[in-house]
Structure 1
């Protein structure tokens, strides 16, 4: 996710990936919102790690 307003990023992710409108997300109980945010954080970190691995393999491939 892009840097910037964290709440806006979460709302954007919920809308596009979970098909959950911002109003529906904010209507959830606090613990459910916290779980969704934590799950998004885990997924984003995994995607970043995967992207770095791809970039590393691409760089390694150019040197041979």
Structure 2
């Protein structure tokens, strides 16, 4: 959870409490969205290395 809190603080400019006070469903959505974004960034980085 700390990793995701770190990401929302730095990428989204949210206060930690904004993320931590979300419902479980909202946090799950944010986490899934972050995972999708990270996967897309990693895929793009691999593509650029070729």
TM-score, structure 2 as length reference: 0.91
Aligned residue pairs total 50
Long gaps (5+) in structure 2: none
Runs of 4+ in structure 1 deviating by more than 2 angstroms, as ranges, are: none
What is the Cα deviation at residue 14 of structure 1? 0.2
Once superposed, what is the RMSD of the aligned Cα atoms? 0.8
TM-score, structure 1 as length reference: 0.73
Which entry has the higher C-alpha Rg, 1 or 2?
1
